[in-house]
Structure 1
Amino acid sequence: MAGAKETGGITGTKDRDYDLMWYTETCLSNALRLETYIHDAERAQDKEAVDLFRKAQADSRKGAEMGKELLRSRLHS
């Protein structure tokens, strides 16, 4: 939000770090949720949906790994 004050005073975590943690957690949650979607599509024998959800899950895992790596580098410094 433009012009908003940083909430680090409230949460104890700088906005940039909080946002990165949120992003990483969201990617991990998506990977878990997509596992259910994959199983649903497999039961329906919908190969196109299975392929789509598997790709999306791989992308979510990649995003989570990138987020974790950046968090590691920032929180250990």
Structure 2
Amino acid sequence: MKTSEVLETSDVSTVQIFDMLGLEVAQTPSSVNNMKNTQTGAPELLRIDVSHLPAGVYFVKINCSNGACSIVEKFVKM
């Protein structure tokens, strides 16, 4: 999934995935905050394994740690 907004992982508190019924089907661990590359110190990309989810339409919700933002994007798993 590509999104028009790029957030550093230090700004992200949680990432939740919801199905079309609004039921939460996945959530990132609380260790998502402060994910840095140990060699460069640069922020890491956050990858979420959705292989266990059946094909369908889902929504991913990204919540910022300071409460200043909440981004929701739709994605389709084939």
**Alignment TM-score > 0.5, same fold:** no
Q: Which has the higher helix share?
A: 1
Structure with the larger strand share: 2
Q: TM-score normalized by structure 1?
A: 0.22
- TM-score normalised per structure 2: 0.22
